[in-house]
Every structure is written in structure tokens, then in C-alpha cells.
A and B are shown apart, each in its own frame.
Chain A
């Protein structure tokens, strides 16, 4: 199977549903052969964007380009996209073979070719032995592969995946995650994955687009999202457990919130803003007096909730020393790992 990846560009893409703005002025450039994840909470516009790229929704304004071809006014069948849905959306009255063959037959492909291509795709995905069964007669994992086969069999230029893993059991999900990524890299098909699961997005994607309330928050490789979140939304959304965000004032080498003073060495002018410290960058060996409120075991580590005398923060502590609730400790952090945001929530400095 030979697929040609294609560059996908989205310019000023906007979608209104009545008075509701589902997506506003999105610009995005997906490189040929790249896997991009759309990440965000439900209602953030990620699925709306995907459905516009697929051609199910008409954009209110803006354009979508596949290579140099503008496609936003084309019918889905003329866009050459394959799509996998959360529910798989297999046709229940057809066998897996007929399901996978469906897009080919609609294109009037000769039946010998249909047979060969379906067989080839099914082999690739390991469902060749269940092709004569109907969707209800195979496992969830096999249904998911059948849905992926149906999307890939027509050798699309763009592969769209809408929460393809969220209906799978946790165990199969990890395995399927790796398989889809491997397949996508082997085939070199430009892919867009919609997910609300950050682990899925970070593990699978070359780059992740984080959405919130109809707007793109950040579009960057996974490491950059984690190391340099562009704003407080991304900082709080990406990373598990989420980053501690304290609202206060920066001045004279320290950050003040209420009566709490945290020494900081971040660049930027004095003034109000947010201080972000990831729980894994924080420790109990610092100088800020704090009281242990709660200790939750995560197996290898403990998640400790501290009361700083007003604001509370979470700290990940390696096993061994297990603090007890009520103990007085000193809150601190590993120096270069601070994040500073201005009062509007935008990142300051590197």
C-alpha cells in the first residue's frame, strides 16, 4: 500500500452554530506525513475543526487547503480523506469485508481490485480471519481495526481520527495507540487525531494543537507543550498531575501571594501575574513554610498537597520518605523549572 502524504493548511477557519462561536479564526499548517493531535476539553472546537476538514460541516469563513488545492467547498467524497470515528460507525448490516470494501465499490473499483485491496489492508491490520463476520460478531479491538481499514483502504491523502481509542479497554488502548502510530509512520499518511486524552496526544503526535473555547492555545511538539506552555490554560491542561498555578505579584526577586513569599529568579518586569511550578519540579526541601494537608499514594510516588497559609500546592515526592498529614515542611522547587505568566495568562520569558 502506497500513500502520499499531503500538506494540510487551515487559514482563518471559523464556524458559528447560530450565535455560538464554535471555532474562531484558526490558522494551522500540518506538514506532509505528520501526525497532529487536536487536544482539548469537550466543546473546545477540536471536533468541529476535524469535521470541517472532512467536509461534514461547512465553514462559516476561512479556507482549507490540501496541498495547493482548496477543498473547503468540496463534498466529502471529493476530498480524498479517510476517517475513523469514536463509535467506529461500521455498517451493522454488512460484513467486515463489505464494510471495508464499501468506499472502493462506491468509486466503481473493479471487483478483483476490491478483493485484493481489502485483503491487503486486512492483513496489515491483522483482521483477515474475521472478514466474513459482521461488526457485532467481533471484538471492540477488531471493530476498531476494521474502521481503520475502511479509512485506509481507499489510500486517502489525509487520515482523520476522531477519538479512535476512547471506546477501547485500557489494556488494548495502549497497544492500539502504538500500532496506529507505527502504521501511520510506515504509510506516511498525513493524519489528524482528535482526543481529550493528553497522554494519547503526547505519545502519538509529532505536534499537538491545544484548543480551548474555540481558540487555538498552542501548536507545538509534545516536549515544548510540557516545557514551555504558552499560557496558563496549556500549563494547567497538559501534564499530570497539573501544574500549580499561583496568582500574585512578582517584585524584587520574589513572588508574593498573600503572606506567602516564594523566591524566584525569573526574568521579566515586576508586576502581577501567575507563577507556575509543576508538582514534579517541586519538593519539600525548600524554605517556604508549609503544612501537609493530604498525602495520596500514586504507587511509585506520593502526591502531597501542601497548605502555604492560603494558597495550596501539590508536590510529587519520590517513595521512601513519606510525609504525614499535619507535618510542617519547607516548600521549594528545582530552580530552572519555573514558569511565569502575565496577568492575562500569557507566558513571559523562556
Chain B
């Protein structure tokens, strides 16, 4: 390996120094999940597979972990699917059709995207109560998907903007309606964008905490993030099991990232043109 010039070596050292806290965090998580006790980053005590006993028994009145896992999976997949479908249709309309109020709508979407969702929590609580959706999976799915839509719309609009008009004209002359054109021509051509958006939406929904934590109280509808958080509320927290649950919670995300990173890298080169 060729030696790096001194200035680069210095830069590398600085970057490494900045990354140490994060790396240390991951090492702590890995060690704590598998050992009895960890002092600093050094395992003390023996190997402790019992940290993982939440997998085969219910712990302290919590629901079985697989209920939370199933709920989280449903939550993430439905949120991502709804977001991709609705955002791409809305984005296509904004990008390609001229309708009254188009620019107003575009501005609103941007403002909504910038709006901190947390400040809406109490308002959303009242609305969910009114609709009878409080403490239901469908309720939190709707809330999460709605809050994520502005970002999705903007992202997809960039992808649709970069499609050629001539392609659409050709499709119309070939005999397509606008609707079939959208599904058969426009959607396949923005596939990198769809995959990227789906990946982001899945990750974001998978890691979502504040919405399910606030709007779900019964244990049968609990998601993984609330399940994990419940280990911190006891007087004496079991750090070992907390870490093990945390690792378990991260496995699907890591798998997804490994599968989807090619599209994630493409998202800024192919899409966002505003």
C-alpha cells in the first residue's frame, strides 16, 4: 500500500478521533449484549447468553418480543409502501400536470417538510381519539406516513422532473393514457428513486419512537422501539438485556442497508434537482 502524504495522514487521524465515540458506542453494545458485566469497554464476568432470554420467554409483563417485531414490520412495510405510492403519484402530478393551486401546494409541501412534527403531537392525539384510531397500529401508520410524505414528494418530484417530455409524448402517441403512462413508463424510469425512497421510508419507520411511544399504550400493539425503551424505565435496568434487544432490533436494518446501499448512493446523483 502506498504511503499517504503527511497531510492526509493527519486528516485521517483527526477523522478517526472524531469517530471514536461512535465506534466505542457500538463496541459497548456488542460486548454488553453478550457478557455479564462490562467495565468501560472490558468484559467482566462470563459469557451471558441469558441476556437473550427475551427471545424465548416473556420478560416482566411485556408482550412477547415477536409481537413487537411483527408490529414493527407491519408498521415499517405499510408506511413505506403507502409513502412510495402516494408520494410518487403526488410528485408526478406536481411535476407534470398543470392544475390550479399547483405552486401553492408545492410551497405548502415544503413548509410541512420543515415543520417539526413533535409540536403536533397533542393535536394528533385529539384527532386520533376523534377518529377512534388512538392506540391502534393503523393510527400510528397513518400519522407516520403523513408526516413523511412531504420529503417523499419532494424527492420523487426531482426524479420525475428529470424525465424527458418527449418520452411522454411518444407514449401518448403510441396509444397510452396518462394513467397507463404513469405506471408503464414513468414509474419504471424512476425506479432508482422509488427504491431509495422505499429504503429511507423503511429505515425511518423502523427507527420511529416518539409516535408509537405517544399513541400506543396497549402492549399487543407495541412496536420494537417502545419495547426496547421499556427496559430503561425500571428502577434497576438490565443493561445486558437492553443491549441484546438493541442488537436484535438492529439486525433487519443492517440487512436492509446492505441490500439497498447501491440505491442510497444514487439518490443524490440521480434525483434531487428541485
Q: Which residues of A come within 8 Å of B, CB atoms? A: 51, 54-56, 75-77, 81-83, 85-87, 89-93, 102-103, 106-107, 150, 154, 160
Contact = CB atoms under 8 A, between A and B. Distances in A.
B117 interface: no
Nearest to A162: B166
Given A91-B185, A92-B189, A93-B188, A86 B166 contact: yes
A85 B174 contact: no
Contacts of B172: 55-56, 75-77
Contact of A106 (B166, B169, B175, B189): B175
B173 A83 contact: yes
Contact of B169 (A75, A85, A150): A85
The winner among B167, B174, B177, B188 for most chain A CB atoms within 10 A is: B174
9 contacts: A56-B173, A76-B173, A77-B173, A77-B176, A77-B177, A83-B169, A91-B170, A106-B180, A154-B175
A56 B173 CA distance: 8
Contacts of B174: 77, 102-103, 106, 150, 154
Interface size class of B (residues with CB under 8 A): 10 to 19
B213 to A, nearest CB: 42
Nearest to A85: B166
Contacts of A103: 174-175
B164 interface: yes
Nearest to A87: B166
Given A89-B167, A106-B175, 14 more contacts: A54-B173, A55-B172, A75-B172, A75-B177, A77-B176, A77-B177, A83-B169, A85-B166, A91-B171, A92-B189, A103-B175, A150-B174, A154-B175, A160-B173
**Closest 10 A-B residue pairs measured CB to CB?**
A77-B175, A89-B170, A89-B166, A106-B175, A103-B174, A85-B166, A76-B172, A83-B173, A93-B188, A89-B167
A76 B171 CA distance: 10
A76 B175 CA distance: 7
Contacts of B167: 87, 89, 91
Contacts of A92: 189
A89 B169 contact: yes
Interface of B: 164, 166-167, 169-177, 180, 185, 188-189, 191
A306 to B, nearest CB: 45
Contacts of B164: 87, 89
B179 to A, nearest CB: 12
A35 B215 CA distance: 69
A77 B167 CA distance: 15
A341 B171 CA distance: 46
Contacts of B171: 91
B175 A107 contact: yes
Given A89-B164, A91-B185, A93-B188, A83 B170 contact: yes
Contacts of B173: 54-56, 76-77, 81-83, 160
Contacts of A87: 164, 166-167
By CB atoms of chain B within 10 A, which of A82, A93, A107 has the most?
Answer: A93
A56 B171 CA distance: 11
A73 to B, nearest CB: 15
Contact of B170 (A85, A93, A107, A154): A85
B175 A56 contact: no
A106 B170 contact: no
Contacts of A102: 174
B175 A54 contact: no
Contacts of A77: 172-177
A89 B189 CA distance: 12
B6 to A, nearest CB: 44
A76 B166 CA distance: 14
Contacts of B169: 51, 54, 56, 83, 85, 89
Contacts of A76: 172-173, 175
